[in-house]
Amino acid sequence: MRHRHPIPPEEVEVTAIRAQGAGGQNVNKVSSAVHLRFDIRASSLPEPVKGRLLRLGDHRISKDGVIVIKAQEHRSLEKNRMEALVRLQDLVDAAATVPKRRRPTKPTSASIARRLDAKSRRASVKAGRRMAGL
């Protein structure tokens, strides 16, 4: 798949760390999980994409504009590295699409009439419940 804004590898910092959770005899010796860091502000992405990324309410984006992704799904370091890069690219691709502008609409005259009719019907039902003379 071709991406609109491919991320240059030199802008991504990948660190190998030990994976969490249960493992075999290998778990304490091998660093197979990956910590990926990507600084949005220092990147070569276009300004509108940077702005949309920074405005995303994603928990992986820190207050100082750094995306932190942890991948530890696979046993292989290389697979985890690829998984983290794919997740980062998906996040950038999501921010690259320009959201459609919302056009405010007015309710149709028929829907207004239906609403007012329902209100008056409900009012007459409630008026019928009132005790006479009070």
| Per-residue pLDDT reduced to its tens digit, 34-80 | 888 988 888 888 888 888 888 888 888 888 888 899 988 888 888 99
Measured CA angle at 96 (ends 94, 97), to 5 deg: 75
The H or E element containing residue 123 is: helix 109-129
Q: Has residue 111 been placed in a domain?
A: no
Q: Has residue 115 been placed in a domain?
A: no
Q: What is the pLDDT of residue 63?
A: 86
**pTM for the complete prediction?**
0.66
Q: Has residue 113 been placed in a domain?
A: no
Q: Has residue 49 been placed in a domain?
A: yes
111 three-state secondary structure: helix
Q: Supply the angle between the helices 47-55 and 77-96 in degrees, to the nearest 10.
A: 100
Name which of 40, 29, 48, 32 is nearest 84 in CA terms.
32
| CA dist., res. 96 & res. 80, Å (int) | 24
Q: Has residue 127 been placed in a domain?
A: no
Q: What is the CATH number of the domain that holds 75?
A: 3.30.160.20
Q: Has residue 110 been placed in a domain?
A: no
Six token digits for residue 28:
């304490």
pLDDT one-digit tens code per residue, 31-46: 788 888 988 888 888 8
Total of domains in the chain: 1
Domain that holds residue 51: 9-96
Percent residues over pLDDT 70 in the chain:
88
